[in-house]
Amino acid sequence: MTSTYSALQAQLAALTTEAFRPELAEIDRLPTAEIAALMNGEDSAVPVAVGARLPQIAAAIDATAARMARGGRLVYAGAGTAGRLGVLDASECPPTFNTDPAQVVGLIAGGPPAMVRAVEGAEDSRELAATDLTALGLTGLDTVVGVSASGRTPYAVGAVEHARRTGALTIGLSCNEGSELADAAEHGIEIVTGPELLTGSTRLKAGTAQKLVLNMISTITMIRLGKTYGNLMVDVRASNEKLQARSRRIVSLATGAPDGRIEGALAAADGEVKTAILMILADIDARAAGRRLTDSGGHLRAALNADDTS
């Protein structure tokens, strides 16, 4: 056991995200305003680090969107903070883009209980990752994104390895160069954010970097799938008063139509923003708008350029 811990300590010592910063050894003695300024300065470097990997991020997104357009799913897999970030991004997709909850999935080592407390040994199991993905019925149309700040977390690496054997598309997102995770995946994305303000707390810069990249993966993929019209979220589902007001505003911005016509279109479209916009801009009824959207695979811009021949 001692030799195992020694080997793990050696691995962690070699990681940029785990490096100790002696110049911050007395940070706890600084005034709160100075610590806040230090953190803010550290965080400002994160978008730059992400920007350095935009070509790799874009390639991974295009490959993901191509598979999802054919019915595939997007699956995030990670442990600890990385797993929670994946679950968060997945959980935002249904209310934001009106996706089926099964279309974008977040897996965290140890399952739902691990969202609020550590589940002993879960992140160290490649086999658990394979079991979790098997339970999803993973196919070659799916995309699996392994997320790990260190790039060595067994659960994330195991998820990517299993997914690749299944024929699924694989992406490895980490915050260290030359990571095992990136090497295991078809698309390796390594956002090098450097040592943390607090040694070992990779929920800081590394966590921010992962959140930014996951935002890009899900958001741009949804744009490619026709979930937006320009920069308007036209697949929003009005499930509460705020979203109902947002739906009306989106239809107004897209069409410039008067309030009465917007209300009528939304009522006829059963609240579907995309359908209401098409009805107004193409001057067609809800049934014809629905046909056009179906024929265009849900892409509003393509539906607007189509002719209703029925």
SS3 6: helix
276 and 154 housed in the same domain: no
How many beta carbons lie within 10 A of that of residue 204, not counting itself? 20
What's the pLDDT band for 69 if we cut at 50, 70, 90? Answer: very high
Q: Provide the 3-class DSSP secondary structure of residue 28.
A: helix
Are residue 210 and residue 246 in the same domain, yes or no?
no
User: By residue range, what is the domain housing residue 247?
Assistant: 241-304
**In the predicted structure, residue 95 carries a pLDDT above the cut 90:** no
Q: For residue 88, what is the enclosing H or E element?
A: helix 80-97
Q: Contact 206/190 with Cβ under 8 angstroms? A: no
pTM given for the model? 0.89
pLDDT (tens digit per residue) in 56-68: 999 999 999 999 9
Backbone angles phi, psi at 224, to 5 degrees: -65, -30
Strands 74-78 and 104-108: parallel
Q: The CATH number of the domain where 286 resides is what?
A: 1.10.8.1080
Give the number of other Cβ atoms within 10 Å of residue 12's Cβ.
14
User: According to the model, what pLDDT value does residue 179 have?
Assistant: 95
Tens of pLDDT, residue by residue over 266-285, are 999 999 999 999 999 999 99
Residues acting as catalytic residues: 92, 123
- Distance between CA 283 and CA 259 in Å, rounded? 16
CATH code where residue 203 lies? 3.40.50.10490
Domain tally, the chain = 2
